[in-house]
Amino acid sequence: MRRHAEVTRKTSETNVSIALDIDGRGQVTVSTGYPFFDHMLTLFGYHGYFDLDIEAQGDIEIDEHHLVEDVGLVLGTAFAKALGMKGGIRRYASALVPMDEVLVACAIDISSRPFFGIEVRNAPDFERRFAECFRDFFRSFCVNAGITLHLNVVSAGGWHHLLEAIFKASAVVLDQATTIDTRRSEAPSTKGQPGETG
Q: Is residue 188 part of a domain?
A: no
Task: Please give the tally of structural domains in the chain.
Answer: 1
Residue 89 per-residue DSSP state:
B
Q: What is the pLDDT of residue 165?
A: 96
Q: Edge-to-edge, what's the strand order for the sheet holding 4-10?
A: 4-10, 14-21, 51-58, 28-31
For position 196, what pLDDT does the model report?
59
Residue 189's pLDDT is what? 81
Does a structural domain hold residue 103?
Answer: yes
pLDDT tens, residue by residue, 162-185: 999 999 999 999 999 999 998 988
Q: Which of 9-13, 54-58, 61-65 has the lowest mean pLDDT?
A: 61-65
pLDDT score, position 30: 98
Average pLDDT over residues 141-145: 98
**162: domain CATH number?**
3.30.230.40
- The pLDDT > 90 percentage for the chain reads 78
Domain-located, residue 193: no
Q: Is 198 contained in some domain? A: no
| pLDDT higher than threshold 90 for residue 157 | no
What's the confidence (pLDDT) of residue 1? 76
Residues 6+ apart with CB under 8 A from 124: none
Note down the domain range covering 82.
4-178
What is the rounded CA–CA span in Å between residue 136 and residue 117?
11
- Whether 113 is covered by a domain: the verdict is yes
Compute the residue count for the chain.
198
In a domain? residue 191: no
pLDDT above 80 (res 116): yes
Residue 58 has pLDDT above 80, yes or no: yes
**Predicted local confidence at residue 192, as pLDDT:** 61
* pLDDT tops 60 at residue 136: yes
pTM greater than 0.95? no
